[in-house]
């Protein structure tokens, strides 16, 4: 009886050990996590503005603005290059590349024989790296580049418009930015506006795309407001540190045609 009890006790221990992983598994073992997940935690899609610092004497500093989209480790974009005699800012430049972790490489489609390449590190909101140009008019241009993912414009814009004669009027606009970019890399803006002036009292902001209508491209903001007594066209640049958009405007097609400057302030925080 004692021998039977000892045998039963030993068998129970062996079963318990096997059930708790004491034995070698032959199947069902979990696979090891990837050593370098390509895009885990990163969402870089959006409206981007890049600025360059050339390292070759005589090379102009340029800005690159437009949309970036992401699908897994694949990245693409549609941007415009400004400040260079070798690129037409009206031409859309396509970008393709890959992202592994926080490292990214982007290459442009040839434009007049020129190919732009960007390499660096990226977060959801910023890019830091280098650029170079091969071929064509801009052959050999290179340097450092920094970029920022420009926050979405939304909610209410409040501002003061000052015409060339020094007279002012206030504008409050309820606006929304399109969630998807157009094929040229800009994001349409739509909404309504209230204008505190005897010339016009309200207006409609119709969504557009670069270079016409109401849109945002990088930090460039265009608003076209149909007032019923002429069209107010505003073109400005965002100062992200101040949450301000400053620029110039014209009113044409009505009884109060004028030109001047304006500053618009975003009344609620700009979220990434």
Predicted pLDDT of residue 24 = 38
Report how far residue 27's alpha carbon sits from residue 32's, in angstroms, rounded to the nearest whole number.
14
Predicted pLDDT of residue 99 = 96
The gap between the terminal CA atoms of the chain, to the nearest Å, is 76
**Residues with pLDDT less than 50, the chain:** 1-38, 269-272
Predicted pLDDT of residue 267 = 72
Predicted pLDDT of residue 41 = 75
User: Domains plus CATH for the chain?
Assistant: 46-150 (2.40.128.120), 154-266 (2.40.128.120)
Q: Which helix (H) or strand (E) holds 2?
A: helix 2-19
Please list, in sequence order, all residues whose beta carbon lies within 8 angstroms of the beta carbon of residue 121, skipping any fewer than 6 positions away.
102, 103, 104, 127, 128, 129
CA angle at residue 66 from 45 to 53, to 5 degrees?
105
Under DSSP, is residue 15 helix (H, G, I), strand (E, B) or coil?
Answer: helix
Question: How do residues 208-230 score in pLDDT, each as one tens digit?
Answer: 999 999 999 999 999 999 999 99
Question: How do residues 8-59 score in pLDDT, each as one tens digit?
Answer: 333 333 333 334 344 333 333 444 444 444 456 789 999 999 999 999 999 9
- The residues that bridge with 40 in the sheet, in sequence order, are none
Q: Tell me 39's DSSP state.
A: S
198-204, Cβ contacts within 8 angstroms, sequence gap of 24 or more: 199/169, 199/227, 199/229, 199/230, 199/251, 199/254, 199/255, 199/256, 200/227, 200/228, 200/229, 200/230, 200/232, 200/254, 200/256, 202/227, 202/228, 203/227, 203/228, 203/232
- The residues that bridge with 50 in the sheet, in sequence order, are 64, 147
Within 10 A of 252 (CB to CB), how many other CB atoms are there?
12
pTM score of the predicted model: 0.83
- The residues that bridge with 162 in the sheet, in sequence order, are 168, 261
Pairing of strands 142-150, 154-163: unpaired
176: exposed, middle or buried (Cβ count in 10 Å: 0-12, 13-18, 19+): middle
Q: Tell me 135's DSSP state.
A: S
């Amino acid at each position: 009886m004692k021998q039977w009890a000892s045998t039963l006790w030993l068998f129970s221990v062996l079963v318990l050990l096997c059930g708790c992983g004491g034995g070698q598994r032959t199947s069902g073992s979990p696979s090891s996590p990837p050593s370098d997940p390509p895009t885990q935690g990163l969402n870089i899609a959006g409206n981007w503005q890049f600025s360059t610092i050339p390292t070759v004497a005589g090379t102009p500093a340029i800005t690159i603005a437009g949309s970036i989209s992401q699908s897994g480790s694949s990245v693409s974009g549609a941007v415009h290059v400004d400040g260079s005699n070798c690129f037409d800012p009206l031409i859309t430049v396509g970008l393709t590349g890959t992202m592994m972790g926080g490292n990214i490489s982007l290459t442009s489609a040839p434009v007049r024989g020129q190919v732009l390449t960007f390499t660096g590190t990226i977060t959801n909101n910023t890019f830091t790296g280098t650029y170079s140009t091969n071929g064509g008019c801009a052959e050999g241009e290179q340097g450092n580049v920094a970029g920022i993912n420009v926050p979405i414009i939304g909610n209410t814009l409040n501002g003061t418009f000052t015409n060339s004669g020094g007279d002012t009027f206030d504008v409050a606009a309820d606006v929304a930015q399109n969630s998807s970019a157009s094929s040229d890399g800009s994001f349409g803006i739509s909404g309504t506006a209230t204008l505190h002036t005897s010339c016009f009292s309200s207006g409609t902001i119709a969504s557009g795309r670069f270079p016409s209508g109401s849109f945002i491209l990088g930090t460039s903001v265009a608003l076209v407001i149909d007032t019923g007594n002429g069209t107010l066209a505003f073109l400005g640049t965002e100062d992200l540190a101040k949450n301000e958009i400053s620029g110039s405007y014209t009113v044409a097609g009505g009884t109060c045609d004028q030109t001047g400057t304006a500053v618009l302030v975003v009344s609620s925080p700009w979220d990434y």
